[in-house]
């Protein structure tokens, strides 16, 4: 039976709040700051749950998101992916243990090498990987978080596409005058 108010679950609820706030951002910088904080809290959450692959991957993801504020280096992305994969070999004892590693590697490519809608689409795939991990880990806050992040991400992508379309229509209309 899962204790809804255990320290591990309460920390997960904090990660939930930070994560939802992050993915509701249309501004890439704010998304990365809040995501870095969410990942830091996630690392503590998964340590308390005893899921070391997810904890290690979340810690690397937090560092990556902070670094992504200053650089968009392909070399840094490759290094972070290598660290994540190395941690996977150390901590993952089953196929399920690789889910957070996969999610973090995809997110690394997204936040360090992409922007805007393509970045958010790859982050959505990463979110689905973390969602599967959280369901298997019995993480209440994490499962809620990734479910809401997926929904908020799709909504934000749609809003961004709609804004882009409105600007294109306005430009086209101005050109016709």
- Give 27's pLDDT tier (boundaries 50, 70, 90): confident
d(CA 90, CA 11): 25
Confirm whether 51 is domain-assigned.
Answer: yes
Cα dihedral 22, 120, 112, 29 sign: negative
Looking at the structure of the chain, the number of domains it has is 1
Enter the pTM of the model: 0.82
pLDDT at 7: 95
In contact, 15 and 148? CB cutoff 8 Å: no
pLDDT at position 149 over 70: yes
Domain range for 48: 7-176
What is residue 20's predicted lDDT score, i.e. its pLDDT?
Answer: 83
Model confidence at 177: pLDDT above 70: no
Domain annotation covers residue 45: yes
Digit-coded pLDDT (tens) for 42-73: 999 999 999 999 999 999 999 998 988 888 88
- Residue in 157, 113, 110, 155 with CA at minimum distance from that of residue 130: 110
Question: Could you tell me if residue 106 is inside a domain?
Answer: yes
Q: What average pLDDT does range 140-162 have in this prediction?
A: 90
**Rounded percentage of the chain residues whose pLDDT exceeds 70:** 95
CA distance 122 to 70: 20
pLDDT digits (tens, 9 = 90+) for 131-147: 999 999 999 988 998 89
Neighbours of 62 (CB within 10 A): 19
Alpha carbon 2 to its chain's center? 24
Let me know if residue 1 belongs to a domain: no
Domain assignment of residue 2, yes or no: no
Band of pLDDT at residue 176, cut at 50, 70 and 90? low
Residue 169 lies in a domain: yes
């Amino acid at each position: 039976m899962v204790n809804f108010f255990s320290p591990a679950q309460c920390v997960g609820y904090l990660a939930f709040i930070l994560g939802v706030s992050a993915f509701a951002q249309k501004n890439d910088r704010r998304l990365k700051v809040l995501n870095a904080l969410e990942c830091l809290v996630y690392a503590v959450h998964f340590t308390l749950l005893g899921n070391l692959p997810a904890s290690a991957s979340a810690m690397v993801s937090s560092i990556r998101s902070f670094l992504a504020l200053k650089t968009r280096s392909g070399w840094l992305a490759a290094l972070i992916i290598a660290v994540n994969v190395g941690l996977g070999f150390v901590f993952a004892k089953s196929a399920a243990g690789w889910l957070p590693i996969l999610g973090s590697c995809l997110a690394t490519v997204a936040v360090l090498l992409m922007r805007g809608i393509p970045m958010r689409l790859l982050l959505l795939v990463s979110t689905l990987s973390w969602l599967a991990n959280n369901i298997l880990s019995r993480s209440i806050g994490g499962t809620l978080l990734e479910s809401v992040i997926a929904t908020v991400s799709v909504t934000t992508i749609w809003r961004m596409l709609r804004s882009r379309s409105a600007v294109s229509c306005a430009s086209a209309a101005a050109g016709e005058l």
